[in-house]
Structure 1
Amino acid sequence: MFMNWKRVLLAGIISLSLVGTGYVGHDLLSTSNVSAESASANAPGHQKKALASQLDEIIKRGYIRVGMTGDYKPFTYLNPETNEYEGYDVDAAKELGKDLGVEVRFVETTWPDMMKDLQADKFDIAVGGVTRNTARQKTAYVSQGYVTFGKVPLIRAEDKDKYFTIEDINKPTVRVGVNPGGTNELFVRQYLSNANVTVVQNNLDIPHLVADGTYDVMITDTVEAMTYAKADQRLYAALTDKPFTKSEKGYMIPRGDFIYASYLEMWMDEMKLQGKFDDLYRKWIE
C-alpha cells in the first residue's frame, strides 16, 4: 500500500512539472479551448491575409486612370489641335503605364476639384505639376519629389527691373492674374493681399494677358515661368535663381494603401536611377 501511495505522489509531481514547463500531454491534461491552429495564427510574424490594393485592381482591369488639368505647361497641356495631352508628366505617366503593363487613360480635372475627384475615385493618380505640401498630405498620399521649384513673378520683359521683391508687387497699382484653386492662388492670397488681384479660370490665358498688358504679374512656378518666357520674347521670368519659395513636384494617390504607395515610390526611384526623369527634364524644361 505504501508503494502505491509513492507511485501516486510521483505521478502528481511529474504532471505538475510538465504543466510548468509548457508541455502537457493529451493523456495528462486536455483542454477544449487550446488549439495549435489558433496559436499559430496569433503568433508574432504570422502573415495575415493581404488586404486588397488599388495596385492589384489597376493591373487586373488593364488600365490606369491618370487625372490632370491639361493647363500647366510644361507638365501637362491639352493640345486643342490634337485633343491629346502632352508634357513632362504625360510622358512620365506613359512610362508608369508601361511599367505596370497597362493602358493609360487620362481624366480631365481642375485644380479646385483635383482632391475631391481623387477621393471620389475618378482617377487612380493625380499628376501634372502637383506641389507637395502638408495640406495635401492630410487627405491624400503625395509621393517623393522629382522637380524642385519656387514661386516667381512672370512679368513683361520691359518691367524686368521693376519687380524684385514681394513688396514691389504687393501694391494696389499692381495687377496680378492668378488661376484658382492651386498653390499659386494660395501664395497670392497670403502674400499679395494689397495687390489688384484677378482670378482667371483658365491658367493658359494668364501669360498672354500679362504680355498684352492686361495684367502686370502672374505668380507661378519657376518652371512654368521659364517655359512661357522662352516661348514669348515679350515675357520675362524674374527671380528664377532666387524664388520666393522652395517646393517640389510629386504625384498624388489615395492615402491608406501601403502596397500602392510602396510601388509608386519604387517606380520613381527607378526612374531617377535609370536617368529617365533627367531625360524628361531635358526634353520639356531645359
Structure 2
Amino acid sequence: MTSARALRGAAVLVGLAAALAACSSGGSDGTPSGGSPGVDTSLADIQEAGVLVVATEGTYRPFSFHAGGSGDLTGFDVEIAQAVGEKLGVEVDFQETQWDAIFAGLDAGRFDMIANQVTLTPEREAKYTFSQPYTVSTGVLVVRADNTDISSFEDLDGKTSAQSLTSVWYTLAEDHGATVEAVEGWAQAVALVEQQRVDATINDKLTYLDYATTEDASGVKVVAETDDTSQSAFPFAKGSTSLAAAVDDALDALRADGTLAEISTKYFGADVTQ
C-alpha cells in the first residue's frame, strides 16, 4: 500500500489499543470503530490517508466485474465510486470480497465503504450509516414481444411465470395467481419466455435494462412495473456521518454535472440514478 495507507493502518492500531484499554468496543456507542465517544473522524481519517477503501464483489455484472473475465475491475458501482473518490480528492482502493463476508469486513474496519448495489432496508439502516441512494429500480413484468394476453400483473392469474425460487419475484408471481416454473436465474427465465415455454417472468428493472443493452432484446417486452421501488446506496460503519455527508455532497455534484446519468446510460441505456 501507499505510505499514507500505512500511516492510516498505524493510526487504526493505536485507536484499537486505546479502545481495548478503556474496555469498550468500537462502534457500540454509535461512533465509527476507532473513534472516541461522540467524535466522528471518518472523513478526517480518509482525508489524512488520501485513500478511500471500498469493498466490492468484482463478480457482479454489470455493477462490479472484470472486463473480459480477467481484465481491469469495472462496472456501474465501480465507476460511481471512482467518481466519488475524485470529488473527495482521494484515491479509491477497491478490495474484492465475497458478498457473504462484505458486511463483516465493514464491521471489522477493513473497509470504509461498500459499493455493491446494497439495497436500503430498515434492518440495514439500523446497523449502518448510508449515503443517499444512487440507484432506484422497480420490478418489471416481461413477456414475449408478440404477447397480447398479459398487460398487467393481474393478468398473470392462470399463466406460467419463470422465477428463481429464492427471489422476491417468485412470491409476487404466486400472489398474482401464476404457476411458477423454477429457474436458476434471469438468463434461463428470459430464454423460456422467448421459446414460449412460459408466459412471463418478473425481475429487477436493472437486470432487464442490462440485458437490453448487451443482448438482442427484440423478442421480449416490458408490460408492467411495480409501484414500489428499491433503492441502493453506499453503506458505512455506523456513526460515519461526516464521511456519508461528504459522499452525499459528491453524489449531488455528480448528479448536477451529468456524470451519474452518463455512467448509468453507459451500462443501462437509461438513467437509473434518479
TM-score by length of 1: 0.63
Matched ranges for 1:200-215 at <5 A: 200=184, 206-213=185-192
Is residue 106–residue 112 contact of structure 2 (8 Å, CA) maintained in 1?
A: yes
Tell me what 2:220 maps to: 236
Is residue 152–residue 237 contact of structure 1 (8 Å, CA) maintained in 2?
A: no
Is residue 166–residue 192 contact of structure 1 (8 Å, CA) maintained in 2?
A: no
Tell me what 1:247 maps to: 230
* 2:95 paired residue among 94, 97, 107: 107
1:279 aligns with 2:262: yes
Tell me what 1:66 maps to: 54
Listed as ranges, the gaps of 5+ residues in structure 1 are 1-47, 201-205
> 1:133–1:195: structure 2 CA closer, same or farther, 3 Å change rule?
farther
Tell me what 2:246 maps to: 263
Matched ranges for 1:186-201 at <5 A: 186-189=168-171, 192=174, 196=180, 198=182, 200=184
| Count of residues in correspondence between the two structures | 227
- The CA distance in 2 between the partners of 1:263 and 1:208, in whole Å, is 38
Tell me what 2:28 maps to: none
Tell me what 1:87 maps to: 75
Counterpart AA for 1:213: L
Answer with 1 or 2: which has the greater Rg.
1
Counterpart AA for 2:51: Y
* 1:98 paired residue among 57, 67, 86: 86
TM-score by length of 2: 0.65
> 1:70–1:161: structure 2 CA closer, same or farther, 3 Å change rule?
farther
Deviations, residues 74-130 of structure 1 (Å, cap 9, x unaligned): 433333433422222211111122233332222234555443343233422122333
> 1:58–1:189: structure 2 CA closer, same or farther, 3 Å change rule?
farther
* 1:128 paired residue among 113, 116, 122: 116
- The CA distance in 2 between the partners of 1:51 and 1:161, in whole Å, is 60
Listed as ranges, the gaps of 5+ residues in structure 2 are 1-35, 270-274
Kindly state the Cα deviation for residue 228 of structure 1 after the two structures are TM-superposed.
Answer: 0.4
Deviations, residues 142-196 of structure 1 (Å, cap 9, x unaligned): 22223332012455x3675465444555879533126x6xxxx345356647754
Deviations, residues 221-241 of structure 1 (Å, cap 9, x unaligned): 21221220333325635246x
- Identity, in percent, stands at 21
* 1:76 paired residue among 64, 87, 90: 64
Tell me what 2:129 maps to: 141
* 2:164 paired residue among 156, 177, 198: 177
CA RMSD of aligned residues (A): 3.5
- The CA distance in 2 between the partners of 1:115 and 1:163, in whole Å, is 40
- The CA distance in 1 between the partners of 2:186 and 2:168, in whole Å, is 18
- The CA distance in 2 between the partners of 1:110 and 1:195, in whole Å, is 33
Counterpart AA for 2:127: T
Deviations, residues 207-254 of structure 1 (Å, cap 9, x unaligned): 3322443995654321221220333325635246x3353233322222
